[in-house]
Amino acid sequence: MSERLSRLRTMREQALAGGGQARIDQQHAKGKLTARERLAILLDEASFQELGALATHQLSDFGMDKHKVPGDGIITGFGKINGRRVAVFAQDFTVLGGSFSEVQSHKISRIQDLAMESGIPLIGLNDSGGARVQEGVRSLAAYGEVFLRNVMASGVIPQISLIMGPCAGGAVYSPALTDFTIMVEGTSNMFLTGPDIVRTVTGEDVDAETLGGAAVHNTRSGVAQFSAPTEQAALALAKTLLSYLPQNNNDDPPQITPYDSPDRMDEELNSIVPEDDTEAYDMREVLDRVFDADSVLQVHTDYAPNALVAFARLDGKPVGIIANQPMVMAGALDLNGSDKIARHISLCDMYNLPLVTFVDCPGYLPGVDQEWGGVIRHGAKIIYAYCQATVPKVSVVTRKAIGGSYVAMSSKQMNNDIAFAWPSAEIAVMGPEGAARLLNRQALREAEDPASLEAQFVTDYREKFFNPYRAADLGQIDEVIEPRETRPHLIRSFEVLQTKVQGGLPKKHGLFPV
């Protein structure tokens, strides 16, 4: 028995050592932590239960029999984050560059299956040079096993991917299939084909950071939802993000003890919308003043900034936020903004987070590029997502809600439960200038002073239609409220809606306008 115990301890020590001290030093020299150091930061102390620590590949070709390390370049298991159970895996770049193998696939698939069976979130730390070439097609098939489970787990348990180094080739699809991707600035990148292949095939000279760094995927491609300046900050962000999400789709989001008065009113909100409706204001300031102090966590901050999506808390309870941002493109909806909003609505609905929508939108962005790019199809995604969502939904029109954007942005016809408006709201089929010309075309053609007459028509239209009261008269707005009262109105609304019951016939699924 003593010999067997000795052998077990030796193998455990080898697993803990990863690729050896020299490789660990190289990892640190790049400004990167090792897989085990990352897990020690992410998980509660002494909570980690490792599985598959002694697994190794069985290759002998290409000299691989000399490169067998217990664990085979990946660490998998269970732990706790702030007392909540989670499943984790972390690729170890010090072992064969973290290259993805059949053994890695078996270990990840095993932990994915256990996470779904246990109903707990799954967090993956990606740091790999790509598929293990020595395994040929087996390593490619191994990716498919992981992708399948990513899809099966989608909408069942939260899945969070952290990109802590390179993530190339087929490996990028697994993070893309998860709910959230967090990248580390300067040391992480994602791309299907690396700089060398791009240079060979297209002649474009580009480096890894420019091709697929954190800035690219957080601003241009939209693949990543978050970026962080350091690995420590990325791991802390994952913990914060998890605090808004339930363990699974059958649980309620985690509540915390309220620390901000539910009756708090903010007088500054009464003057935050400028009198001149062509002047911008920052919707982020509105959110910060309405929701629990310091609770707003913006998602996809730098992608499609004309639209804001976020998590926050109201009286200690997590909610999802959709909002237009008047500071960018006057808050108009475009291709990317529509995708961003639709994705967040669906995600919040999956995990039982009530939705609050703040509307200040002049409409969909006009232009040939938008029409040719499919703004109709992309805009329809918002409508589909709102109509499909079954969680409680409350909207607040702060200023503009014009034309199709009024309908799309959580109007009562989109199964919105309660609709509020501020006195500054401007709800109409179209803007006053265009409406005045359309409705009074003949009179303007015959007028001696058409400019003066048009100005009068615009004024009349604004007084009659360009306000929230006509919409309230027709029941499209439930109540016009003072801006300072927004927080207590939202809290009371969700108190009523928390027992909302859904009916209707069951169906398999509809056709999402992809």
In the beta sheet, which residues pair with residue 124? Answer: 89, 161
The Cα 204–Cα 390 span in angstroms is 47
pLDDT digits (tens, 9 = 90+) for 314-372: 999 999 999 999 999 999 999 999 999 999 999 999 999 999 999 999 989 889 999 99
Per-residue model confidence (pLDDT) at position 47: 97
Per-residue model confidence (pLDDT) at position 299: 97
Give the confidence band of 198 by pLDDT, cuts at 50, 70, 90. Answer: confident
CB distance 386 to 414 below 8 Å: yes
The Cα 59–Cα 61 span in angstroms is 6
The Cα 16–Cα 253 span in angstroms is 35
- Write b or e for each residue in 66-105: b if 16 or more Cβ atoms lie within 10 A of its Cβ, otherwise e: ebebbbbbbbbbbbbbeebebbbbbbbbbbbbbbbbbbbb
**Mean per-residue pLDDT over the chain, rounded:** 88
Q: Where in the chain is the domain with CATH 3.90.226.10?
A: 2-242, 267-430+467-497
pLDDT digits (tens, 9 = 90+) for 74-124: 999 999 999 999 999 999 888 877 777 778 888 999 999 999 999 999 999
Per-residue model confidence (pLDDT) at position 370: 92
Is the pLDDT confidence value at 202 over 80? yes
Per-residue model confidence (pLDDT) at position 136: 62
| pLDDT greater at residue 412 or residue 391 | 391
Q: Residue type for 64, please?
A: M
Per-residue model confidence (pLDDT) at position 17: 63
Per-residue model confidence (pLDDT) at position 139: 67
Q: Closest Cα partner for 130 from 181, 90, 190?
A: 190
- Which CATH number describes the domain made up of 267-430+467-497? 3.90.226.10
Tokens of 210: 């420019």
- Which CATH number describes the domain made up of 2-242? 3.90.226.10
The Cα 298–Cα 285 span in angstroms is 12
Q: Under 8 Å CB-to-CB from 250, ≥6 apart: which residues?
A: 119
Per-residue model confidence (pLDDT) at position 485: 97
Is the pLDDT confidence value at 68 over 80? no
